[in-house]
Amino acid sequence: MSTGLIALLDDIAAIAKLAAASLDDAAAQAAKASSKAVSKAAGIVIDDAAVTPRYVVGFAAQRELSIVGQIAWGSLKNKLLILMPCALVLNFLWPSIINPLLMVGGAFLCFEGWHKVAGMMGLTGAESPVAEEAVSDSAEQNLNSKDREELRVRSAVRTDFILSAEIMAITLATVAAYPQWLQGAVLGAVGLGMTFLVYGAVAIIVKLDDFGAFLARQKNGPTRMFGRYIVKGMPFFLEGLSFVGMIAMLWVGGGILVHGLHAMGMHSPEVWINEFGSSAGTIAGSVGEWLAKVTIAALIGLAVGALVDLLLTKLFNPAFRVLKRMGRGAFS
């Protein structure tokens, strides 16, 4: 074998080792970025898992998993075919816009959280762009079962688009400084992982009722009683999940805004929250520190959400209605 061929093989082996090391590093970076994105998107994930089961209400039990599967497929297409390419192109052409966009997303989360709080308090405000009711009865009353199913799935996928956009924006902000190919890998991994996580949980939640009913029909007394507890407890479980999602939206949204201000040079809010958390930590330990920071972030989120709601109700929505009427008048 010639020395030239040996040298060539050595070069190929070196390149292969370098590629393997790069892939290992990419996997580590992807895992790290994905974990950060998942933690920041906790409120969206929990809220999505709490809201989606409502879209299968009123259908036969044997159609429930099929409906959840169709919604999951639509969610995956939202993330991988629309949102991911748009995010990559935007970050390539205009990377400085990522932090402001993420802050807009944080404000949206705050608004969603406030919207839920306002609903609990019986207050009215701007309509949430994320519809929690699947489809109105009046829209479905003249449809057959197949058409109703298609309508529900379309409605759920539209709702999912907003939540998926938030997840992808949070993920992109986490990996914005990485190479373009690694950004794509992480966005794809998070998109797949989040979809399977959310809709896998939804599938389990949806079938818990049936599982409880199955246990309740058994002859064994404790098993039958446990099944009844599951069936009776599901509404409370979903309400509790929705409440946790509401709190998570407020603290994640508030935290995104505070961190975004820090990235823009306004360090005081984040410094103050960290100092307050450290003071609480000296009294109650690491759990107390975490709770203090979460509480402050949630209160900031609540205030921002109320402000956004006020602006939408008193300024933007009336202005939009006026412009809409003017446009109709101009073309009539």
50-72: pLDDT as tens digits: 667 777 766 777 788 888 889 89
With a cut of 50, say whether residue 103 has pLDDT above it: yes
Per-residue pLDDT, 303: 93
Per-residue pLDDT, 288: 84
Once rounded to an integer, what is the mean pLDDT over residues 93-100?
84
Per-residue pLDDT, 299: 93
Q: What single letter denotes the amino acid at residue 123?
A: L
Per-residue pLDDT, 134: 45
Of these ranges, 74-78, 185-189, 319-323, the one predicted with the greatest mean pLDDT is: 74-78
Once rounded to an integer, what is the mean pLDDT over residues 90-112?
84
248-277: pLDDT as tens digits: 888 888 888 988 888 888 888 888 888 888
14-43: pLDDT as tens digits: 555 554 455 555 566 556 656 666 666 666
107-132: pLDDT as tens digits: 888 888 888 888 888 776 666 665 54
The ranges assigned to domains in the chain are 23-135+142-241
Once rounded to an integer, what is the mean pLDDT over residues 237-256?
81
With a cut of 50, say whether residue 46 has pLDDT above it: yes
Average pLDDT, the chain: 77
With a cut of 60, say whether residue 13 has pLDDT above it: no
- Return the sign of the alpha-carbon dihedral for residues 77, 249, 29, 172: positive
Q: What is the total residue count of the chain?
A: 332
- Distance from C-alpha of 104 to C-alpha of 98, rounded to nearest angstrom: 10
- Distance from C-alpha of 164 to C-alpha of 201, rounded to nearest angstrom: 16
Per-residue pLDDT, 47: 66
Once rounded to an integer, what is the mean pLDDT over residues 210-218?
85
The three-state (H, E, C) secondary structure of the chain, written as one string: CCHHHHHHHHHHHHHHHHHHHHHHHHHHHHHHHHHHHHHHCHHHHHHHHHHHHHHHCCCCHHHHHHHHHHHHHHHHHHHHHHHHHHHHHHHHHCHHHHHHHHHHHHHHHHHHHHHHHHHHCCCCCCCCCCCCCCCCHHHHCCCCHHHHHHHHHHHHHHHHHHHHHHHHHHHHHHHCCCCHHHHHHHHHHHHHHHHHHHHHHHHHHHHHHHHHHHHHCCCCHHHHHHHHHHHHHHHHHHHHHHHHHHHHHHHHHHHHHHHHHHHCCCCHHHHHHHHHHHHHHHHHHHHHHHHHHHHHHHHHHHHHHHHHHHHHHHHHHHHHHHHHHHHHHHHC
CA 142 to each of CA 68, 107, 155: distance values in angstroms, whole numbers, following the listed order: 23, 38, 17
Per-residue pLDDT, 259: 85
Once rounded to an integer, what is the mean pLDDT over residues 70-91?
89
Per-residue pLDDT, 41: 62
Per-residue pLDDT, 73: 93
Per-residue pLDDT, 302: 92
Per-residue pLDDT, 304: 93
Per the model's pLDDT, the better-predicted residue between 19 and 290 turns out to be: 290
